Structures are given as structure tokens and as C-alpha cells.
Structure 1
Amino acid sequence: MIRFASLQSRMTALYLAAFGLVMLLVAVSMQWAIASSAEDKVRSELESSSKVIDRIWSMRTQELQSVAGPLALDFGFREAVASDDTATIRSALGNIASRIDLPNAFIVKYDGSVVGMRPEQDSSYNEELWDRLDSGWHSGALRIGDTTYQAVAAEIRAPGLIGWLVLGRKLDAGEMRDISRLSAIPVSVSVVRRTEAGRWVYDRDGRPVADRNLAALLARLEEIGAASGQTSQRMGGTMVLARALGESDGVATTAMMLDFSIDDALAEYDGLRLAVLLSGLLGLLVMAFASASLARRIVRPIVALEKAAQALERGEARSLPVLSSDEIGKLTGSFNAMAEEIVTRETRIRHMAYHDGLTDLPNRARLREEIDHRLAALEGGGSEPFALLFLDLDNFKITNDTLGHRVGDQLLKLVARRLVELDDRTFVARTGGDEFCLIVAGQDVRLRAAQIAAMAIEQVNEPASVEGHFLRAAVSIGSSEAPEDSTSAEDLIKHADLALHAAKAAGRGRYRRFTADLDTNAHKRRSIEVDLHNAVKNGEFELYFQPLFNLAKNRFSAFEALIRWNHPKKGLVSPVDFIPVAEDTGLIVPIGEWVLKEACRQAATWPEDIRVAVNFSTVQFAQSGLVNMVFQTLATSGLAPDRLEIEITESLFLENTGSVREVLHGLKNVGVRIALDDFGTGFSSLSYLRKFPFDKIKIDRSFIIELLQEDEAGAVVKAITDLAAALHMETTAEGVEEPEQVEALRAFGCTTLQGYLFSKPIPASEAAKLVNGEAAAELRA
């Protein structure tokens, strides 16, 4: 199948094909009409020639009859025939033949004998000839010997019938030529005859008529009878007409065939056919030109539409002039409207893709583009050094959780406006949640970045009324510089993020610039994270226990379980190093579950009056099923619920206090004791002690260390112990290292003491000895 590269060529080819088909149909129709006309004309001409030949045949027959009749009536001739006067007969026949140039003349006596012009023509009897004469035959084609004649017969009576006079003219090739010359068209004339066997043969040489079509034509001549005279038929490129010349019993026995070439007749139409061909070719050329012009005119606006669509695909807006009101014009108008809508939508989508939906600031993707652009310009020497400042709102989650997301969103919009107003040259983006980013450029970029950071901290911290709430936001900022810190976008972002985390760790509401040690610490933290996964899988953790001394009972009454990590290469790793990483990665959940199970298992082997305390992380409290996990652990270990003490810190209450209260009450329902650890150092609130079911308050070691040096520290400790007693709670003092501290705490009414004065954290095996009184002396500090 032919494929076209363009619509224009396809349309041109279609028009040409249609015109060519029409011209072909016209040519075929004309050829058929010419052929039909030529065939009809040839048949008509042959019929006309047949009539002329028939007329000539009749005239010659009359000529022969005009001679034969008078001679047959001549008295002397009849006497000669009656008396068998052969000499007289021959003389009379010879005179007649010479007078009209007859090749043959003879008489047939009634007895069947024949007397001719010459003695060799005589014969005793010709039965076939006698039968035909006796049946009344008087003219037509007559076969005498090996020759066919146009002959006539006249009866000889004296007075009765005594014979017949027969005159004949040969129907040979010369006669046929003479006859054909008399036709208006150049016909070919031949004579055929029917043999006794019923087959037709050529009279000239006796060859059988082998052509089936000719044989069928002669057979049809036999069927229609000699009286009807003639029939015609087309045979290939020739028209043939057969005319009966002689008959026997009404059936043609001799026939003349006239044939004329139809191709010769068609030759006169060659000029017309050539004219039609030339006209068709000329018309095809004209049509090709017209088709190409029309197709070009139709396709031109379509091509323009295609180019405009390609430009639109590349993001280029292009409008086409509407030059007509037809379908193409309407299509062009529709395309212009569609293109305008697409450009508008693409612009909107691109804006949405590169801008934050809430604040309309550039988003993280746009920030990355800007960083890459500035780094490329910096590398080419066409840009100033710049600093990347990462900002994170402090305690924004509390605002969202307590006042709702609507207030939180409005606060984010307010912060975004304040950051944009800091400096016209600063690029401001929101990278997600409560995080923003600033790009500050300049020759003295470090100083400028510090100034912008200070302005940001100050401006963001300005109080504002949001949705009827008086709010004061705070922000921590970390920065990295290009090209000093890195010329890689990934590294700049990572370094600024590390500096931000360092600022938060330093107390929030601070600015911290990236330094190399932050990267070192980050790598160390990453290494710890990787090793922690292996530690959980390989069981590298071990529990140590630090005893709690009961002042009233004057003995150890409980142990705090403390985790230790036996690293295969680094040895013991401090919890200070790996617990924060475990909390950030979520590994604290499986680690904390292991600690609880192991602590309960160990405590179940101790005396029933000895409790065990286990620290729980805020991350663990965020997991569903915590109460059920504790219950299952107690049931599996066989430890009584009141012998387990769960320690939590005040930071837990910065999360959802409703869910925390629900979990704590669930644990209390199980029978587990709850202790508030490090009381007095965080966001201490008396409402916590009233709302939550605490059994114990653990006083932070910072107060115990200063107990003997500062009166204020003693006053705080005294206040805490009095408050706990009023709320029916126990108190534990952490970090006791001196005997004098013991006496002071005893005087304040403290319940239990914990510190190196009594024992450092010891392995589980040593703890078992201690509760059994086997190693008390050795373990005292």
C-alpha cells in the first residue's frame, strides 16, 4: 500500500486518481461505443454488399435465362433434341456459349443422358442432376463434376417434356474477385458447399471449414433455410456474412461468404481515439496542477496549525490569523482558544509545581533550581557567593495540635510575609511543613547571612494575633555557604540542615553556621544508626541495674534498668550516644520492648519486695498497643504488675496529652507504677501532677549536686518532697554521691536515694547477688 508523507500529496494523488478513473471510464465507454458502432457499420455494409451481389446474381441469372428460354423453345433445336441430332445440338450450344462467353452449356434428356458442347461432356446418366431438374429446379448454384456453376435450366418440350437445357457460369476465384469489386467496401468473397456427408468445404480447393465459428454460422444458415437467404456473425476482428446460393429440399447446399475486417473499420476512428488520448493526458496535467494548487490551498492552514501545535508543545504561545469563515477558519479559531487555555493552564500548573500552595512562596523544587542556577553562575564567575539559610519554627506542632491546623496555616502565612519583607534581594522559599529557606548573596556573605538570620529571628518572634489567638513564634536557623562550604547543591542543603539541627539542640531560637565538626558528627551518627540495626538483629545489648536505697527500710528496695551496648569493635557504647539516634530512627521501639522483657525476666528471679524501673521514650508512647505489650510481658515473665515501675520524662507531655493520659491510665489499670523522671528541669507544671496518675517523682540530679552549696537548691528539693507527700507520691533523689546529702534528704522526707554513693550500674549477675545480700559491701561507692 502506497504511503504518502503529507496530506497535500495524498489529496493531489486522490484527485488525480479520481480524474484518471473518470477518464478511463470515458475512454472505455468511447472505445465500446466506437467498437459497437464499427461492428454495426460493418454488418450494415456487408448486408448492403450482399444485396448488391444478390442483385448482380439475379441479373446474371436473368441473362442466362434470356438465352436459355428462347433456345429451348426453338423448333429446330427441339427437333434436334427429339431426333438425337447430336451434331445440331452441339452446334447450337457452341453458338450460344461463344455468344455470351459461357464455359458450359448442355442438355439433359428425359432419359437422363447428357449431351454437351463437347463430346467429353456427354454422359449416359447423372442421377443427382436429373433428380434436381425433375424436381423443378431452374436456377442457382449447381455442382457439375468438380466445378460449381451459377446455372439456369429451361425445359425442352416437343410437345411433351423431352429434356432440359442447362447453361452455367463458373464460380471460380476470378468470378469471386469480380463480384468483390462490385462491393462498396473491400470484402473477401468465398464459396462453400455442403457435401453428401453433411460437412461444409471450401469450393475452391475442397478444404473442410475447420473454424468452429464459421461452422456454427453455416449450421445456422441450414436451420433458417435457403429461403431466408443469409445470416451474419462477428468472429474476432472480422464480421462474416453467409448467403445461400443453392439448396436441396429447402436446405442450403452452397453458400457465398463475405467477410470484412472490423479492425480496418476501426482504423478510421484512430484519429478520434488519438484526440481522446491526447485530451485525457492534457486534462490529467491540468488536473494535476489544479489538484496540487487546491491541495496546497487547503493544506496551508493545516500546516500552519501543525507548526503552531509543535510550538505549543515546546511551550511557546502562538496565535494564528483566522482568514476564512469555513471549517478551516472555525478550526483555527478553536485552536487559538485551545492554545490560549493550554498556555494559561500550563502557566498555572508550572506555578503550582514550583510554588507552595499555602504561602505562594517558591517550593523545594524551585529552590533546587535556584541553587543549581547560582552554583553554575558562580562557577562561571558571574555570581556572588551566597549562603543557604534553613529555618524551622520551634514548637509549631504544639500550635497545630492545640489550636488547630487553620490557625497553624495562618501562622505560616504570617511568617512567610515577614520573611519576604526582610530584604528585597533575599530569595525566600517554603520547603515543607514549618520549614523555610533563604538564599542570601553578597561579597561579605557570612556577615550578611548572620544579619539576615538575626533579623529573621527577631521579626518572626514579634507577637501577632492570629484567628483571635495571641501568638509569638520562634525560629531556629542553620546556614551553609557557597563556595566555601561546598559547590554541590546536595552538600549545601545537607550542611544547612545539620547546622539547623545543631541550632535546635543548642536551645532553639538560635542561629548556627555550618562547621566541619557538624559533618563529622553527622557521619558518626549515621555510623551509629547502621550499627544499631545490626545490634538489634545480633542481640548486642545488655542490661545493667542501679539500685535505689529506701531510707525508711534502710536497704535496697528497687533497681533501675539501664541499657548498655556491647559493640563488637568499639566496645561499650554510651546510651548518650545511641539513644537519641534510636529515638530518631524508631529503633527505640524494638530496643525498648527488649529492655522491658529482659528487665521483667531478671526481676522475676528477685525477692518479691524488690521492684524494677524501666525508662520509656516518648516514641514508644506514640505506638499503638503499648499497654497490651506491657501486659503480655508481665504475663510471660510472671512478674507482679506492682513490681514494675515505668519512668517517663516531662517531654512526653509536649505531645498529645489526651492520648498520653489514656495510656498512663491504662498502665495503672494493669497495676504498673508510674514515675516522673528528671522533675524540675523541663516544662514542669503542677497540673501534670494533678492530671496524671503518678506514683513517684524523681528529683533531677542537678538539684542534688547543689544541695549542700546553695540554699535555693535545698528549698526546691524540700518543696518537691512536701508536694509529693501531699499528693501521696514517693520521691527519689538522683545523683547522691556524698553521705551529707543522704542526711539532708532524709531530713527533707525523701523516700529513696539513687547514686554512686550506693552503687554504680552493675550487670544483672551482680544485681542478683546484691538483692541476696552477697555483695553489698563491695558495691558501695
Structure 2
Amino acid sequence: MLRLGRIFTGYFGGDDRDERVRLKLVDTLYAQPTSLAVGAATGIVCAATAILVSDNRAITIIGSLMMVTAVFRVVQAGWHARKNAQPGDARRLEKFYEVGAYTYALLSGILAALTVYDTSGGHIQTLTVAYALVYGVGISARNAGRPLIAVGQLVLSALPIMVVGPIVGGIVYYVLSITMFFVIFGVMSITFNVFRTLKEQIFAAEASAQMAEKMRELARTDVVTGLVNRAGLNHDLAEMVTNRTEGKQLALFWLDLDRFKEINDTLGHTIGDKVLAEVANRLRSSTPQGCTLARFGGDEFIVVAEVFDRAESERLARSMNHEICRSARIEGQRIDTSASMGVALLPDDGPDIDTLMQGADLALYHAKTGGRRQICFFDNAMTRDLVRKKQIETELRAAILRDELSIFFQPIVDLETGRIRTFEALVRWFHPEKGELRPDEFIPVAEETGVIITLGNWITAQAAKACAGWPDHVTVAVNLSPAQIRAPGAALGILNALREANLDPHRLELEVTESLFLDDNDNTARFMDELASCGVRFALDDFGTGYSSLGYINKFPFKKIKVDRSFVSGPNIGKKSDAIIRAVAEMGATLGMDIVAEGLETIEQVQVVRDAGCTLGQGYYFSRAVPDYLAAMLLSQEQDRDKDSATRLAG
């Protein structure tokens, strides 16, 4: 008995602790209700036959109860098949089954025992005893998923026959009782083996499912931040859209860290990864429960949250931005972080996920072009702007191929002698249908789309060819975009343009703005050093309007500084602007640099900047930008004046 107890403990103790496994095993009891109905129908026929053939009142009562129980069990099995059972239902379902199973098995055993005890039954004994034994053995195999129930049914269907056999007496019934005893233990062994196989298969399936789920989670998780990655975002977004609370909107916040590349380049990728992890933690702390937080890639994050209205999304955006902008100390380094953010709402800004993400992406783009730490919400006008920019991009590419673009030249004049020292090359676009398009309409589009690389190379080549026909003392200045410098082989492309035009590199000046140095100092330094070593000169354009730093002047090979026109002809000119011009001019004189004053329109402005120490001037006072043939004419007129002056002096 002790051994039997250990067997039952081993088979019933472990699996019952896991309700999910228990439910799967209980499901095997209710599986294939058709087979249960066939068995019940056979039992009903057997019981009805016993009642009809026998005049025994006890057989009639037990047979009737057996038929009622059979019908009850079929109804119960059909109800379970229609119900979506949960793990918490396992014990209740098992109890229901046990009541019906044990009752039916016991009644079938009692019915067979009564027919054996009633010796007048004749052949009915064979029918009922055969049914009880066949039912007990067959049900043990069917219900092996719950061996206690299976063995219990077998015992209850056989035990009344085993008891009544010795009472009736006779060698046949003695042998029948003993045989049934051994049958019970033999069937128990088979049942336990089947159960063990079922349990191992379930555990293996559970383990496999858990492993698959773990792999899915890993595939959807970013290892640096612990947030979901792009694949996880797509999965969570689909669920959030499907399960969106009625009356609420989905707000998608697309964040891009400002100047994160500088952190990676100067402090290393290890610090950069820790900054990303810190930003992820701050997003977790500043967003409500139920949000989806994802690292979309690189230094971009996406947050998706349910909100009541736009005002709530604005408060949430400000909260996240405030948290991200707090300084952090990582491995002894003070890190100042900030982010640009684009926001779009579903369904206000789009009916589906793709439209929502496009809207947030467009809003982020406008936030980044507006400066750092900006939050921008999607507006339909952004889509119109995008269409317009795409149209300009397409037409600009075609214009380059069709030679619709022209190069105009604006002189830069020596303020002491009045002679032209340099021409600045400026691109003009005369559209065949729209007329002249201003540079501020198409140059930003060219920079955003990468067309500026092709356009810039073309401008440099055309300017070099024009300059090659001018007097040797006149140089040409060309504005450079940061995108041009980042392009592979940028320096080589410029040197090739000089070689094809047969122009001395000393006669080419490349103008760059201070924003160039914010993104990639090392690459810029290599580019400038390579060209400067060949003789190309560099000028710092728009000085005083951006992130002005004397460190740029000290580090890079500048020969000229251009003071922005806002200090000459802007609305805020006065003593302060004059003092700034004078200070810059004095610095230029000390460093041996030319100082160019831009935007000169009156003789008074020319006198002010000349008195302040500026060496060169540029503006409408001297000349507007003119085509190449007019630039050549200006130089020719200048030469004629010089000849006349020389003649007068000689005479």
C-alpha cells in the first residue's frame, strides 16, 4: 500500500501544481465528446435491455439511474466543448467530470452485480458484465490524462462484480473475481504509462512554447536600452490600434537626440550606449503605464500612448522633453542631452499606423530644422510642403541636366583701392514656366535631398572655368554645403574641377559657415587640410550669427572672415554692432586675415566698416550679382580705368 501511495503521489502531486498543465490534462477527459456519447448510448441500450428482460425492481431502479447519468454526462461534455475554459476552471471541470464518471461507473458495476446475483437473469448477466468490464478497461485508456479518475472508474465498474461473485459462489465466479483483480492492476500499469507519456509531452510542449516566447521577446527587444526594437514596435502598435479605448486617441512621439554623434565620437560608444540607456530610463519614468516605448534605431526613440486629446499629448511631450534635457553624469562625465520631437495623433492625423508614422516623421523633420529641443505637432501643411519639395527636387535634377541653371558673380571689393579682388559665385535658376526661383527656395531642398552634392560640384566647375578667363589677381569664391564635404571624394572632386579649368588652386576660395563644425570636426579638418595644402583658400562666412567660436579660427586654415550683413545693414545696427565689427577687424589684422563686410548698400556704411578696419566689402553699393559676361565687363572697365590713370600719371 505504501508503494501504491508513492505512485499516486508521484503521478498526481507534481502536475497539479501547474494549472495550465492540469487544464490540458482535464481537456483530454472532455476530448472527443462523440466517443463519450457512443459509450453512453451503448450503456443506455444495455440498461434498457436489462430492465425489459428482468422483472427485478432493483435492476429497474439502477438501470434507470444509469440511463439518466449517461444523458447528464453527454450534456456536460457538449457544454464544455462550447465553453472557452481558462486555467482557473480546471479543478471545477475536473470535479464535475468526476461526479458523473464515478456515478456512471459505479451504477454500471452495480447493474452487472445485480444481474449476477439474480440467477434467473440468464443471458442478461453476460451482457451487463461484459459491458461493465469493457467500459472500465476502455475508459481507463481514454481518461489516462487523469489516471486517478481512470483507475477509479475501472475499480468502481469492476468492484461490485468482484464482491458479488464469491457471494453467489461457484468456481466460475471465483475465477471471475480473481481475474478481474489482476485485470485492474494490469490496466492501471498501462494507464500510468500513457499518463506519463502525456505529461512528458505536455511539459516538453510547455518548455518549447516558453523558449519560443523568450526568443520572440529577445527578437523584439533592444539590447542596449531594454526597450522594444523596430520589430517589437510594429507588434505593439498593431495591438494598441486594435485595442484602442473608445473615445481616446493614440499619440505617437518620435524623438531624435540632438548632437548624439558628438558624444559617440568624443567619449566613445560605451558612453554613448549608457546615454541611450539613461534616456530610456527617463522615458520610462515620464510616461504613463500602458505606453509602448521603443528604440527605433541609432539615437531615435518612439513613444506611443493613449491620450484624451491634443492638450494631453502636449503635456506628455513637455514632460518627456524636460526629463531628457536634464544633465546626467556618466562615468564621471557631465552629459547634456536634448531631443527634437515630432508628434502625430491617430485618428486626427491619419487613420492607420503607416500614416501616423509618416506624420510623426514629418513633424520631427520640421522640429529638427527649427532648432534643437523643439517639439512639433503634425499639420497637413507639412504634407503639402513635402509634395512641393519633392517637386522642386525632381525639377532641380532635370534643370541641372538641361542647363537651366546659371552662375552669377557678385564682386568683393578692396575698400582702400576700390578694385575687385574676388567674385562670389551665386547660382540662379530661371525656370521655363515659373520664372526665376530664389535660391532660398531650392538650395534648402537641395541640401535636404542630397542634390546639393551634384549642384555644388557643378557650381565649382562653372566658377573655376569663368575665373580662368579673368586677370590673375582676381579670385573666385564658392559656398560649400556640409553635405558636399561629407560626400566621398569631395576634395578630389574640387581639385579635378580646378585641373579641368586650368585654374591655379590659389585663386579658389571656399566659403563655409560655422554650422559645418558642429557635426563632424575631424572629417572637416581632413577635407580643409588636404585642399589648403594644395593652395585652396578658405573663408568663414556669416561670422557672428551662429555658434561663433575663436577656436574655429585658430584650428582651421582660414584666410578670410566675412562679417554677416546683420551687423552692417540690419535693424539693430548701432554702437554695439560697430564695436563688434571693429573687434573682428582688429583680430583679422593681427592674424593677417582679410575681413569682409557684407550687405553694404550706402556710402555711409562703406565708410563705417572701412574706418572700423574691414579690408573688403560686398553689397549692392558696389554691384549686384551679374552674369559671367558682365563680370568680365566690370573687370575690363576696371583695367581701362587703370590704364587711363596710368596714362594721366605718365603725362
Q: TM-score under structure 1 normalisation? A: 0.55
Look up the equivalent residue of 2:296 and give its one-letter code. Answer: T
Q: 1:483 to 1:775 in 2, by over 3 A?
A: farther
Match of 1:745 among 609, 618, 643: 609
Spell out the pairing of 1:107-118 with structure 2 (5 A cutoff).
Answer: none
For the pair 1:429 / 2:284, whether they are aligned, the reply is no
Any idea what the Cα deviations from partners look like across 1:532-552, whole Å, max 9, x if unmatched?
Answer: 332333333211111111112
Partner residue in 2 for 1:352? 218
Question: How large is the RMSD of aligned CA atoms in angstroms?
Answer: 3.0
Question: CA shift at 1:335, angstroms?
Answer: 5.6
Separation (CA, whole Å) in 2 of partners of 1:462 and 1:391: 15
Cα separation, partners in 2 of 1:699 and 1:488, compared to 1, 3 Å: same
Q: Which residue of 2 aligns with 1:23?
A: none
- Within 1, Cα distance between the matches of 2:628 and 2:214? 66
Opposite residue 441 of structure 1, the aligned amino acid is: E
The amino acid of 2:305's aligned partner reads V
Partners of 1:708 and 1:741 within 8 A in 2 = no
Deviation at 1:376, TM superposition (A): 4.0
- Cα deviation code 1:508-553 (max 9, x no counterpart): 2121222222222111112122223323333332111111111122
Q: Tell me how far 1:749 sits from its aligned partner.
A: 1.3
Aligned residue in 2 for 1:365? 231
Aligned partner of 1:278 in structure 2 is: none
Aligned to 1:446: 310
- Residue 769 of structure 1 contacts residue 775 of structure 1 at CA under 8 Å; is this kept in 2? no
Residue number in structure 2 paired with 1:463: 327
Give how far 1:474 is off.
0.7
The answer to whether the 8 Å contact 2:419/2:638 transfers is: no
Shift in Å at residue 630 of structure 1?
Answer: 2.2
Alignment-derived partner of residue 48 in structure 1? none
Where is the strand percentage greater, Structure 1 or Structure 2?
Answer: 1
Contact 2:566–2:573 (Cα < 8 Å) also in 1: no
Inter-partner Cα distance in structure 1 for 2:212 and 2:640: 79
- State the shift of 1:332 in Å: 7.3
2:439 aligned with 1:582: no
Whether the 8 Å CA contact 2:253–2:344 is kept in 1: the answer is yes
Q: Matched residues in 2 for 1:774 and 1:685: separation?
A: 37
Residue 772 in 1 paired to residue 642 in 2? Answer: no
Distance 2:571 2:303 in 1: 47
> How far 1:774 sits from its partner (Å)?
7.9
* Of 400, 425, 433, the match for 1:569: 433
**Is 1:418 aligned to residue 298 of structure 2?**
no
User: Residues 563 and 648 (structure 1 numbering): CA distance in 2 closer, same or farther, change over 3 Å?
Assistant: same
Deviation string, structure 1 residues 273-292 (Cα, Å, up to 9, x no partner): xxxxxxxxxxxxxxxxxxxx
- C-alpha separation between the residues in 1 aligned to 2:588 and 2:250? 56
Shift of 1:505: 2.1
Q: Distance in 1 between matches of 2:484 and 2:190?
A: 73
Name the CA shift for 1:464/1:324 in 2 (closer, same or farther; >3 Å): farther
Tell whether 2:576 aligns with 1:718: no
Partner Cα separation in structure 2 for residue 342 and residue 612 of structure 1:
72
Deviation at 1:642, TM superposition (A): 1.3
- 1:561-596 Cα deviation digits (max 9, x unpaired): 011223333232222222222222222222111111
- 1:656 positional shift: 2.8
Give CA deviations for 1:131-160 in whole Å, capped at 9, x if unaligned. xxxxxxxxxxxxxxxxxxxxxxxxxxxxxx
Whether the 8 Å contact between 2:537 and 2:558 is mirrored in structure 1 is yes
Match of 2:336 among 454, 463, 472: 472
Q: Which amino acid aligns with 1:364?
A: R
| CA contact 1:770–1:776 (8 Å) conserved in 2 | no
Q: Which residue of 1 aligns with 2:498?
A: 634
Which amino acid in structure 2 is aligned with residue 365 of structure 1?
A
The structure number with the bigger radius of gyration is 1
Q: Is the Cα contact below 8 Å between 2:567 and 2:573 reproduced in 1?
A: no
8 A contact 1:616–1:646 mirrored in 2: yes
Please list, as runs of the form range in 1=range in 2, the aligned pairs for 1:180-579 lying within 5 A after superposition: 339-377=205-243, 382=246, 384-425=248-289, 426-443=291-308, 445-579=309-443
Q: Distance in 2 between matches of 1:651 and 1:429?
A: 30
User: Which residue does 1:593 correspond to in 2?
Assistant: 457
Match of 1:613 in 2: 477
**Counterpart in the other structure of 1:203:** none
After superposition, the C-alpha distances for 1:307-363 in whole angstroms (9 at most, x for unaligned) are xxxxxxxxxxxxxxx97999x999878866754553233212211332222212123
1:545 alignment partner, SS class: strand
CA contact (8 A) 1:708 1:714 kept: no
Percent identity, aligned pairs only, is 37
**Structure 2 CA distance for aligned equivalents of residues 530 and 338 of structure 1:** 59
Higher mean C-alpha displacement, 622-631 vs 447-456: 622-631
Give the letter aligned to residue 475 of structure 1: A
Q: What stretches of structure 1 of length at least 5 have no aligned partner?
A: 1-292, 302-321
C-alpha displacement of 1:414? 0.7
Amino acid at match of 2:468: A
The equivalent of 1:66 in structure 2 is none
Contact 2:514–2:543 under 8 Å retained in 1: yes
Match of 1:678 among 520, 523, 542: 542
- Relative to structure 1, is the Cα distance of residues 332 and 566 closer, same or farther in structure 2, using a 3 angstrom cutoff? farther
Q: 1:324 to 1:571 in 2, by over 3 A?
A: farther
Q: Which runs of 5+ in 2 are unaligned?
A: 1-136, 146-188, 642-651
Q: Aligned ranges for residues 156-171 of structure 1 at < 5 Å?
A: none
1:521 aligned partner, one-letter code? D
1:146-196: CA deviations, max 9, x gaps? xxxxxxxxxxxxxxxxxxxxxxxxxxxxxxxxxxxxxxxxxxxxxxxxxxx
Aligned to 2:28: none
**Is 1:700 aligned with 2:564?**
yes
SS of the residue corresponding to residue 409 of structure 2 reads strand
User: How much does 1:746 deviate?
Assistant: 0.6
What are the Cα deviations for residues 74-108 of structure 1, in whole angstroms up to 9, with x where unaligned?
xxxxxxxxxxxxxxxxxxxxxxxxxxxxxxxxxxx
Distance 2:296 2:198 in 1: 43
Q: Alpha-carbon deviation of 1:748?
A: 1.2
**In 1, Cα distance between equivalents of 2:512 and 2:397:** 25
The structure 2 residue matched to 1:759, chosen from 623, 628, 643, is: 623
Map 1:171-182 to 2 at 5 A. none
CA spacing shift, 1:707–1:528, aligned 2, 3 Å:
closer
- Quickly say closer, same or farther: Cα 1:596–1:431, change in 2 above 3 A: same
CA contact (8 A) 1:560 1:614 kept: yes
Q: What is the match of residue 649 of structure 1?
A: 513
Q: Deviations over 1:463-496 (max 9, x none)?
A: 1111221112111222112222221222211111
- Structure 1's 610 and 384: CA in aligned 2 closer, same or farther, altered over 3 A? same
- Return the alpha-carbon distance in structure 2 between the equivalents of residues 345 and 574 of structure 1: 61
Contact 2:287 2:320 in 1 (8 A): no
SS in 1 for 2:286: coil
The 8 Å contact of residues 452 and 481 in structure 2, kept in 1 or not, is answered as yes
The code of the aligned residue for 1:709 comes to: I
* Kept in 1: contact 2:413–2:617 (CA 8 A): yes
Deviation at residue 386 of structure 1 after TM alignment: 2.6
CA distance in 1, matches of 2:585, 2:571: 14
Task: Determine the C-alpha separation between the residues in 1 that align with 2:529 and 2:448.
Answer: 26
Tell me how far apart the structure 1 counterparts of residues 235 and 402 of structure 2 sit (CA, whole Å): 44
Looking at structure 2, the residues matched to 581 and 695 of structure 1 have their Cα atoms a distance apart, in angstroms, of 30
Report if the CA contact (8 A) 1:375-1:487 is conserved: no
Over 3 Å counting, the alpha-carbon distance change for 1:383 and 1:775 in structure 2 is farther
One-letter identity of the residue aligned with 2:555: K
RCO greater where, 1 or 2, for CA within 8 Å and sep 6 or more? 2
Given the superposition, is the C-alpha separation of residues 347 and 736 from structure 1 closer, same or farther in structure 2, using an over 3 Å criterion? same
